[in-house]
Amino acid sequence: MKRDPRGESPFGPPAPPRHVRGLVLTAYALLTVAVVLDVVNNPRLTFSPVLATAPALAGIGTRRARVPLLVGLLTLAVVPLLIVADPQVALAVHLTSAFAVLAVTCVSTANVVLVATRERELLSSRSVAQAAQLALLRPVPERIDGLRVAVRYLAAAADARVGGDLYEVLTTPYGIRVLLGDVRGKGLAAVETASDVLGTFREAAQVEAELAAVAGRLDATVRRRGLGEEFVTAALLGLPPHGAPAELVNCGHLPPLVRRTDGTVSEIGVRAAEADPPLALRALVGGGYHTQRFVLRRGDLLLLCTDGVTEARDAAGRFYPLPERLSRLPVGPPDAVLDRLVADLLAYAGGVLSDDAALLALRREH
């Protein structure tokens, strides 16, 4: 699993934008001009009160409390110089300026300390969230029994929120088995549900001969959690050995897409609205899960994803046309295809996704 392609680091807050730094430098230049005018211009006019802006400016974009503190002390040292330079200005005016500088220095320093403390708490939360995500979503093998596999996970926001998207690829006595799902909701409850689903899948996929039976075990796991309206949409894929047809159990999830060697893209199975219900809701309609079979030929690329991909919108509010975009991408290994697809998705959505997104692609090599 690769890191977020947007390049955002989870280990530290970003530096202030360039235009903010430019405004701060401009403010310092104006402050310098004001002080110079105070010295060389009309001695009855003083700009010393504006000195209080210096420690306030020093607190912008820094996480070090000593920066506004030192700037405040240096600014305070300018006040005696102004008293000497402007003897005709009332001493009370300069003293007022000195107290203003001290007050703003204290406030600016305290604000930096507060912001830095909150950033450390947020970074700690992000680290815990990232560790939880990595513990759940183990790296998938790039090659496995004649298949090439790639996965990408995109976080919708750079805060501490942990999504409920999940995936797994396993070698079992019944061939390769794949799971990709999406837990309804966010936060710790979604993480716990994802953990339970993945744990059950990793065990049931090894012992259940029928893929529909694996789905039934997953359904029972989510239902036992008893969290009211919680459910999980999931697509289970089976690739039996010896060239047998591939299997799909769609539990209310987006249908997988297959791109054939001639470039055509089509959906596998029925649409999500016509598929079996999500995990935890099977008992509401009765019966069991159904297995659909299809042929995956050598060179075909199969793509599974969560709705964070298909629900991404452009500036006009139009949904991302995944089948159309997938058909336009150059032919290549799954890893390269997903890199191009993710770049295209982020460009389409203006670099911001409304929901977490997981993509899993595999190609039959022989």
pLDDT, tens only, 266-314 = 999 876 667 799 999 998 888 899 999 999 999 999 999 999 999 999 9
Angle between helices 18-40 and 66-85 (to 10 degrees): 20
Instruction: Single out the residue in 83, 102, 130 at which a domain terminates.
Output: 130
The CA-CA-CA angle for residues 150, 154, 158, to 5°, reads 150
Q: Are residues 272 and 190 in the same domain?
A: yes
| pLDDT higher than 90, residue 187 | no
* Average pLDDT rounded to a whole number, residues 163-186: 90
Would you say 38 and 82 are in contact if contact means Cβ atoms under 8 Å apart?
Answer: yes
Token digits for 223?
A: 């239902």
| pLDDT higher than 60, residue 245 | yes
Token digits for 35?
A: 């002080």
d(CA 16, CA 79): 30
Q: Are residues 123 and 155 in the same domain?
A: no
- Provide the pLDDT for residue 243: 77
| pLDDT higher than 50, residue 192 | yes
Instruction: Single out the residue in 108, 130, 152 at which a domain terminates.
Output: 130
Token digits for 190?
A: 């979604």
pTM: 0.68
Q: Are residues 196 and 327 in the same domain?
A: yes
Does residue 12 lie within any of the structural domains? no
Does residue 232 lie within any of the structural domains? yes
Average pLDDT value for the chain: 82
Would you say 356 and 155 are in contact if contact means Cβ atoms under 8 Å apart?
Answer: yes
Q: Are residues 223 and 202 in the same domain?
A: yes
| pLDDT higher than 50, residue 193 | yes
Q: Are residues 122 and 170 in the same domain?
A: no
Helix (H, G, I), strand (E, B) or coil at 33: helix
Max mean pLDDT range (114-118, 187-191, 193-197, 224-228) = 193-197
Would you say 248 and 292 are in contact if contact means Cβ atoms under 8 Å apart?
Answer: yes
Closest CA to 305 of 282, 323, 328: 323
- Beta-carbon contacts of residue 135 (< 8 Å; ≥ 6 apart): none
Q: Where are the alpha helices (DSSP H) in the chain?
A: 18-40, 53-58, 66-85, 91-136, 187-207, 211-225, 282-285, 307-310, 322-328, 334-348
Q: Are residues 52 and 166 in the same domain?
A: no
Number of domains, the chain: 2
Look-up: residue for tokens 């991408």?
329
Count Cβ atoms within 10 A of the Cβ of residue 176 and give its class: 0-12 exposed, 13-18 middle, 19 or more buried: buried
Task: List phi, psi (to 5°) of 198.
Answer: -65, -40
**Domain carrying residue 64:** 18-130
Q: Are strands 232-239 and 246-251 parallel, antiparallel or unpaired?
A: antiparallel
Q: How far is CA 226 from the centre of its chain?
A: 28
Q: Label residues 65-95 b or e (16+ Cβ within 10 Å = b).
A: bebbbebbeebbebbeebbebbeebeeeebe
d(CA 94, CA 52): 12
Would you say 225 and 193 are in contact if contact means Cβ atoms under 8 Å apart?
Answer: yes
Q: Are residues 269 and 335 in the same domain?
A: yes
Would you say 38 and 86 are in contact if contact means Cβ atoms under 8 Å apart?
Answer: yes
- Provide the pLDDT for residue 6: 42
Q: Are residues 294 and 216 in the same domain?
A: yes
Instruction: Single out the residue in 95, 130, 165 at which a domain terminates.
Output: 130
Beta bridge pairs of residue 359: 152, 305
Q: Are residues 183 and 122 in the same domain?
A: no
d(CA 230, CA 246): 30
| pLDDT higher than 60, residue 218 | yes
Q: Are residues 204 and 230 in the same domain?
A: yes
**Sheet of 232-239: strands edge to edge?**
165-172, 175-183, 232-239, 246-251, 292-294
Q: Are residues 45 and 180 in the same domain?
A: no
Q: Are residues 275 and 194 in the same domain?
A: yes
d(CA 339, CA 187): 27
Would you say 52 and 104 are in contact if contact means Cβ atoms under 8 Å apart?
Answer: yes
